[in-house]
């Protein structure tokens, strides 16, 4: 009999729909590092990233429980899309809250640093780049993908990666090097 870690994302979603809460816990553990890093890279605030991360999984839970999840073979992509929409909603709300009147002579609207933050277009562009990177990572060989995720998303040292994977530090470094080379090649091939 398989453990929950051995099931595909789609199988775990079906198991969760049928009442197996451990299946959703496996999905959460499987994707939390990539999803959180993706959100954090866009919003640049750990506190805000944690809020959006939690809201993303709450939306996912509600959608799955209501039977509205449509199987597409890309559960992580679906989570990233939910997070993307929540980030845009946040920036829109923030933009509406930061509307000032130029009629107030005591307030210098042209020299307010708060108004020079990134635009929604910049957020969307950054998000698209991150989605492209996540997609490229999924096309790497398993050993390279594993090292890259541990190094980038879990912020582990090469020694920690070597210990966790049971290989030498040099092998970990080599896998990371090949992962980056393969990602560059994929970026060129796909004109990213």
What are the boundaries of each domain within the chain? 1-100+108-117, 139-192
Domain covering 139-192 in this structure, CATH number: 1.10.10.10
Fold of 1-100+108-117: Rna Polymerase Sigma Factor; Chain: A (1.10.1740)
Q: What angle do CA 150, 127, 82 make, to 5 degrees?
A: 90
Q: At a CB cut-off of 8 Å and minimum separation 6, what does 142 contact?
A: none
Q: What share of the chain is helix, strand, coil (3-state, %, to 5)?
A: 75, 0, 25
Provide the whole-model pTM. Answer: 0.55
DSSP conformation class of 149: I
Give pLDDT tens digits along the chain (192 positions). 787 778 999 999 999 999 888 898 999 999 998 999 889 888 988 999 999 999 999 999 988 888 888 888 788 889 999 999 999 888 888 877 665 555 555 555 555 555 555 567 777 777 777 777 778 888 889 999 888 888 877 778 888 899 999 999 899 888 988 988 888 888 888 776
Q: Render pLDDT for 5-42 as a digit per residue (tens, 0 to 9).
A: 789 999 999 999 998 888 989 999 999 989 998 898 88
């Amino acid at each position: 009999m398989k453990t929950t870690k051995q099931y595909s994302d789609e199988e775990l979603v079906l198991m969760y729909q049928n009442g197996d809460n451990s299946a959703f816990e496996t999905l959460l553990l499987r994707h939390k590092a990539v999803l959180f890093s993706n959100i954090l890279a866009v919003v640049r605030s750990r506190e805000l990233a944690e809020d959006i991360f939690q809201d993303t999984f709450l939306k996912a839970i509600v959608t799955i429980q209501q039977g509205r999840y449509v199987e597409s073979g890309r559960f992580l992509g679906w989570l990233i899309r939910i997070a993307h929409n929540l980030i845009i909603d946040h920036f829109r709300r923030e933009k509406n809250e930061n509307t000032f009147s130029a009629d107030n002579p005591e307030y210098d609207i042209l020299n307010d640093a708060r108004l020079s933050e990134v635009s929604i277009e910049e957020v969307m562009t950054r998000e698209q780049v991150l989605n492209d990177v996540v997609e490229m990572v999924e096309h790497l060989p398993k050993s390279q993908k594993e090292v890259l995720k541990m190094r980038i998303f879990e912020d582990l040292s090469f020694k920690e990666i070597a210990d966790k994977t049971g290989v030498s530090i040099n092998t970990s470094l080599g896998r990371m090097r090949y992962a980056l080379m393969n990602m560059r090649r994929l970026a060129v091939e796909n004109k990213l």
